[in-house]
């Protein structure tokens, strides 16, 4: 019988820092100032706090202040949410659900599972939150990742399928005891939204939340203009960008094949898996970035659109209001959803 443990959000030492997005404040008088001591007014102040949480580096930058209290509050919240959404921490609520198979869950876990199931359905199962067991078999975050043997893949695939998850009020039931729910493709987006709420509720008008490349820009820059968020050039240093978007009060999230991947026998194996085969999607995409008001949608949709491929992903985004996407294909061409350039690149 398969054990329901594994490596989502577990191994700091295995971290591949995937700061997919590069935030920079061009045109600001204070660009480049790293501390607040030299600042001459509140508008020029900023403070950043970083930590390892959610299996990645998280950082929160507050603008217009040098008081780190709210940034530290955000990092505390990240650790609090780890205890809800981590699949591997035996203290977490998701861990308990995977062990017990049926239980009453918190509003947070209910919300993420419900939203995730929506994207499972919208994508006809290309996005599927029951791939955790298979993800673990590859060991993407381990020292020696490898392709699982076919018989093991087949055995695990028999228990993959979001249809095994049922929601009735606050009760969530997994009807196959060997099915493992994994919220790694969506939870960081939900957490970014909660951090943004926390900052706004506490009067912080201007901030950037970066949960390992899952970015939320709170308000505007202190001078009232948009933030410039650079989207990483695939496989290059994180400081090299392939395009830049201008946003305020928006989330920017990227799923890319260069984030967690390894090479075996000349083939690159990445971490976005096809639930039909257990192998990584091989559809000519290098990355998909989503710009949306809610980061939970951006996170789920970046993975969903990657799974659907260029045509299916573009069709999905073009059917949604206020959500934009840019796809990078393996010829390094950019493919934009309707209105992307007019809304975000001006
Ligand atoms: P990351 O969180 O690593 O930046 P994503 O948001 O794209 O990247 O989520 C990828 C993670 O989601 C994988 O590490 C795995 O845990 C899980 N996953 C892999 N394939 C799928 C899929 N087809 N549908 C839903 N989740 C997936
Ligand atoms: Mg995602």
Range from 255-259, 268-272, 288-292 carrying the lowest mean pLDDT: 255-259
**CA-to-CA distance for 278 and 102, rounded, in angstroms?**
26
135 in contact with ligand 1, CB cutoff 6 A: yes
Ligand 1 atom nearest residue 189's Cα:
6
pLDDT digits (tens, 9 = 90+) for 299-323: 999 999 999 999 999 999 999 999 9
Q: What per-residue confidence (pLDDT) applies to 48?
A: 98
Residue 42 confidence (pLDDT) above 90: no
- Mean pLDDT along residues 156-165: 98
More confident residue, 104 or 342: 104
More confident residue, 194 or 258: 194
231 in contact with ligand 1, CB cutoff 6 A: no
Beta strands in 139-221 (DSSP E): 165-168, 171-174, 207-211, 214-218
Q: pLDDT-based confidence at 331, cuts 50/70/90? A: very high
Q: What per-residue confidence (pLDDT) applies to 40?
A: 56
Is residue 66 a contact partner of residue 44, using CB atoms and an 8 Å limit? no
**CA-to-CA distance for 81 and 297, rounded, in angstroms?**
18
Q: Alpha-carbon torsion 201, 75, 211, 10, what sign? A: negative
Residue in 127, 185, 215, 278 to alter for ligand 1 test, most ligand atoms within 8 A of Cβ: 185
Residue 19 confidence (pLDDT) above 80: no
pLDDT digits (tens, 9 = 90+) for 232-250: 999 988 889 999 999 999 9
Residue in 10, 16, 271, 307 to alter for ligand 1 test, most ligand atoms within 8 A of Cβ: 271
136 in contact with ligand 1, CB cutoff 6 A: no
Q: pLDDT-based confidence at 258, cuts 50/70/90? A: confident
Q: What per-residue confidence (pLDDT) applies to 13?
A: 29
Range from 12-16, 43-47, 93-97, 194-198 carrying the lowest mean pLDDT: 12-16
Is residue 325 a contact partner of residue 291, using CB atoms and an 8 Å limit? yes
Residue 130 confidence (pLDDT) above 90: yes
299 in contact with ligand 1, CB cutoff 6 A: yes
CA of 254 to the centre of ligand 2 (A): 7
Ligand 1 atom nearest residue 304's Cα:
24
Ligand 1 atom nearest residue 274's Cα:
23
pLDDT digits (tens, 9 = 90+) for 170-203: 999 999 999 999 999 999 999 999 999 999 999 9
Tokens of 58: 């998280």
End-to-end CA distance of the chain: 55
Query: Taking the mean position of all CA atoms in its chain, how far away is CA 344?
Result: 20
pTM for the whole thing? 0.90
Residue 124 confidence (pLDDT) above 70: yes
- Mean pLDDT along residues 276-285: 97
Q: Identify the helix (H) or strand (E) that includes residue 210.
A: strand 207-211
- Mean pLDDT along residues 1-26: 37
Tokens of 95: 């861990």
């Amino acid at each position: 019988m398969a054990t329901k443990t594994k490596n989502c959000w577990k191994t700091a030492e295995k971290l591949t820092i995937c700061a997919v997005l590069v935030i920079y404040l061009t045109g600001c008088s204070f660009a480049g100032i790293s501390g607040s001591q030299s600042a001459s007014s509140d508008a020029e102040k900023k403070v950043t706090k970083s930590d390892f949480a959610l299996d990645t580096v998280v950082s929160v930058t507050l603008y217009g202040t040098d008081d780190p209290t709210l940034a530290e509050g955000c990092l505390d919240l990240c650790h609090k949410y780890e205890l809800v959404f981590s699949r591997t921490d035996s203290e977490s609520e998701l861990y308990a659900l995977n062990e017990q198979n049926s239980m009453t869950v918190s509003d947070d876990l209910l919300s993420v599972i419900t939203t995730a199931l929506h994207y499972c359905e919208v994508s006809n199962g290309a996005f599927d939150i029951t791939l955790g067991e298979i993800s673990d078999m590859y060991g993407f975050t381990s020292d020696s990742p490898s392709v699982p043997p076919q018989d093991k893949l087949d055995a695990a695939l028999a228990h993959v399928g979001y249809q095994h998850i049922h929601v009735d009020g606050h009760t969530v039931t997994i009807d196959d005891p060997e099915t493992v729910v994994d919220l790694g493709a969506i939870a960081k987006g939900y957490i970014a939204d909660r951090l943004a709420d926390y900052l706004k509720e506490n009067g912080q008008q201007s901030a950037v939340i970066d949960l390992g490349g899952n970015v939320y820009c709170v308000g505007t820059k202190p001078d009232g203009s948009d933030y410039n968020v650079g989207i990483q050039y695939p496989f290059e240093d994180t400081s090299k960008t392939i395009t830049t978007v201008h946003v305020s009060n928006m989330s920017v999230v990227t799923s890319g094949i260069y984030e967690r991947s390894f090479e075996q026998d000349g083939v690159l194996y990445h971490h976005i898996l096809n639930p039909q085969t257990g192998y990584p999607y091989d559809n000519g995409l290098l990355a998909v970035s989503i710009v949306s008001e809610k980061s939970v949608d951006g996170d789920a949709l970046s993975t969903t659109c990657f799974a659907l491929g260029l045509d299916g992903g573009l069709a999905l985004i073009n059917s949604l209001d206020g959500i934009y996407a840019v796809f990078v294909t393996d010829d390094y061409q950019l493919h934009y959803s309707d209105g992307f350039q007019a809304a975000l690149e001006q």
